[in-house]
Chain A
Amino acid sequence: MKTASKTNLFLLELILMVLIFSLSAAVCIRVFAYSESLSSYSSDLSNATIKAQSAASFYKHSGDLEYTAAQLFGTIKDETVITYYAKDWRACADAETASYVLTIKEDSAKALIDIQKINESDNIFSLSVKAVQHE
């Protein structure tokens, strides 16, 4: 009787331990997953900033969407420059294999540059730029 009681107590202790561990593991996994997604977002933001700055430089320099599209290896559709980027942020022509898209729209002598992930509505980075008149 004494032995059975001891074993039950041991089992109960183990179950409690597994329960506490499960709770801690759930919290840890959530934190790990969040940190990974944050790291991925930070990497996307860094690359998007560089791409948007380069696009802004082309537009600022020329004030011309066609020139900007040619320099970015993009296309113009409905007065919007569209450039696709693969996962490694290299420009690609195929929209189906692309992971990111950069769009430039003209709006009253300004260009609005947006970069977003394909199939996501939120912009990773946005920039507004005005063309410079060179002498």
Chain B
Amino acid sequence: MQNTLMTSAQGWQSFDLLLTCMVVADRAGRIEWVNIATQHLFERSRRSFQEFSLESLFEDKENFQKAFETIVNQRAMSVTFVGAIAKLDDAVLVSASLHMDNDRVIMELHPIDQQTLSERSIRLAREIEIYQETFRNLAHEVKNPLGGIRGAAQLLDMELDNPAQREYTQLIAAEVDRLQQLVDRLIRPAQAGLQRTMFNIHEVCERVYTLMRAEYQDKLSIIRDYDASLPEIYADREKIVQIYLNICRNAAQALLGAPEIKSPTITLKTRIKSRQFLLDKVYRQVLVISVIDNGPGIPNHIVDRVFHPLVTGRPEGTGLGLSLAQELARQHKGVIEFDSYPGRTEFRILLPLEEV
């Protein structure tokens, strides 16, 4: 083995000049040589790769095995796949390409810039966090003067004999209560902790489906497209219902607000995704719950802000539904993302099942 490494090095040394990670192996997949970039990526010396196979570099063997077989049996000149490489207690997502060069397998690894991959979801979550924080502080500042106003109105009310005059004080108190409720809704999500249990996500899906049916009856069609094999999730069931329902109601309201849509339809879809990057970690398995509608799409002027509190596309909307949903997803270390164009809007709730 030592010998092979030495001799093959003669031919491959120019790879050391590349910033791309290059790994050379024999037809059986045994590693013969790696370039400097690869040593840097794995933080291991060239020699330490000697006893290893290409396959052993990957956390998820399946994609690699398929690609390797294709290449070795010469069914393709080169194959590219996405895999996760194992690095100490860390996993790094890479785009890997395999090529045959005579009787050698050459593998190129390009670490996928996780920043790019998850930039949007991280940005979303951070924004929500900042907004929640700002609103919480603001809400507490608003509560004190509201208490003062309400108390003064009550005192004044007690001193008035004329019922016509007391209408004024009662209006003040009632409007203060309205503001108070708004403020409470802004503060609430962060307060309650999570009550986690193990459950099947489809119980939640079916409950939301039933509620939606009852609420909207035959005003829209709901298609269910479930992956029945999904494992159970450990989460706060009521909060997941709330997230899901908020998103479904949003979809329904968007559909009903657009009478030009001929057959308003919502599709509820569940899937599993492996090797998904969420917020700041790679998860082995992530649950993806999608709500797809054939509505007009999110108006352009709010598309960047749909998760911000108090942003709404509907005159009667509170703008709290999605921001609350995003906050609850974040408490589960998940994220809600979306794509939207006229005729198709998809919101996806991504919830981690298992950490890498």
| A and B are interacting partners | no
Residues of A within 8 A of B (CB): none
